[in-house]
């Protein structure tokens, strides 16, 4: 199947990347914990109150705003999900 071939290509890519040091800054390393969170169902969900079931996505955005303000010593922060 085509899906299986895509999975094999991704596996080959992962193996290739383990064999060297990537010096391209825009291709940052993602911590395993973050990678795991990005595989959550939340990744494909809206956080707007207009959509049902968005409570947890909104909660994450609110906490992220608070963390950004604390980290940067800012009075305001805007966080927009991808």
Alpha carbons 29 and 43: distance in angstroms, whole number: 19
What is the pLDDT, as a whole number, of residue 82? 66
Q: Give pLDDT tens digits for 41-53.
A: 888 888 888 888 8
What is the pLDDT, as a whole number, of residue 26? 79
Segment 66-73 mean pLDDT: 97
What is the pLDDT, as a whole number, of residue 52? 84
Distances (CA, A) of 67 to 6, 25, 71, 77, 78: 37, 24, 6, 9, 11
What is the pLDDT, as a whole number, of residue 2? 85
Dihedral sign, CA of 65, 71, 74, 78?
negative
């Amino acid at each position: 199947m085509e899906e299986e071939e895509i999975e094999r290509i991704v596996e080959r890519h992962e193996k290739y990347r383990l064999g060297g040091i990537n010096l391209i800054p825009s291709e940052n390393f993602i911590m395993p914990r973050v990678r795991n969170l990005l595989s959550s169902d939340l990744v494909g969900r809206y956080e707007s109150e207009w959509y049902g079931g968005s409570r947890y996505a909104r909660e994450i955005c609110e906490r992220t705003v608070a963390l950004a303000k604390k980290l940067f010593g800012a009075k305001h922060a805007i966080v927009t999900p991808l």
